[in-house]
Amino acid sequence: MEKPKPLTQAAKVLALLTVVLLVCVPFLVIVSTSLASQREVVAGGGWVLWPTEPTLQAYRDILDGGIVTHALGVSAGVTLVGTLLSLACTVTLAYALARPGVFGGRPALLLILFTFLFPPGMIPNFLLVKELGLLDSYASLILPVLINVFNLVVLRGFFQGIPEELYEAARLDGAGDLRVLWTVVLPLSKAALAVVGLFYAVAYWNSWFYASLYLESDHWPLQQVLRTYVISGVSMTDTTLGDGAVNAPQTIQMAVLVIATVPILLVYPFLQKYFTKGVLTGAIKS
């Protein structure tokens, strides 16, 4: 092919740079503001692009055993337990639905796909959780969203892509279905499991609406706390923060924001390589 024109090259570089900056600058601002001193934030009119005298005071304040510390624990627990439960139930169901000729497999699949077309709705869901006595329990954040149909379809598609010969070989070696799943299918599906696991973990970590619906405020996860104090602007007092809250509320708010974002930033680099590997693209097409 001929060489691209320098003008189009420049335009491309400019466009890409804009994309990268649009994504990165807001994160830079919240991290910088959370690290800045009170004086600097006030001087900057509420935000700082680069802290000249960085301090971890805001983080010390919120991790001092107040409401944010507790919320962080709740979020971590719900995310961990929820992701494991969701993965286990999705894997077993997807595996059974991926094998040909399972008893009841076809009607089960139709039943599941129909829920995609016609979700029950918010009020019936709420009434069900209430009837089941799950109000104000952490189970109400997990059980109603246990299996995601999209994730199920992704995993089923992946399992179906495993060559039939491998199943046959394992069966001739005398392995039962659970054994085949554990020793053959799962080791081959690491990439798909990583992606689906990430989707579940992110969904649990980011979830706040169900918490606002079902939980009392002293059981709230981090995102719901964040919503209350940062977006709705309820002010954090000494009692909610733990002792010795002396920092500007702005730095505190930004520190909570950073803490809510960091876990995602941490796992993301390890998992994003799978996105380009075609795990999803195959599934999206099916």
Binding residues among 128-167 for other proteins as defined by CB under 8 A: 128, 131, 143-144, 146-147, 152
Instruction: Report the C-alpha gap between 236 and 253 in whole angstroms.
Output: 9
Q: Tell which positions 166-185 bind other proteins, by CB under 8 A.
A: 172, 174-179, 181
Told to check if 123 binds other proteins by CB under 8 A, we report yes
Q: Tell which positions 21-40 bind other proteins, by CB under 8 A.
A: 22-27, 29-30, 33
Tokens 């001193």, located at residue: 37
| Binding pattern for the stretch 196-235 against other proteins, x by CB under 8 A and - elsewhere | ------x--xxxxx---x---------xx-xx--xxx---
Residue 160 CB-density burial (10 A; 0-12 exposed, 13-18 middle, 19+ buried):
middle
DSSP string, 5-51: PHHHHHHHHHHHHHHHHHHHHHHHHHHHHHHS-HHHHHHTTS--SS-
Told to check if 285 binds other proteins by CB under 8 A, we report yes
**R_g over Cα of the chain:** 24
Q: Which stretch binds other proteins (CB under 8 A): 55-63, 114-122, 182-190, 235-243?
A: 114-122
| Greatest alpha-carbon span in the chain | 74
Instruction: Report the C-alpha gap between 155 and 100 in whole angstroms.
Output: 15
Of the pair 63, 147, the CB lying nearest other proteins is at 147
Of the pair 4, 244, the CB lying nearest other proteins is at 4
Of the pair 22, 165, the CB lying nearest other proteins is at 22
Q: Tell which positions 58-77 bind other proteins, by CB under 8 A.
A: none
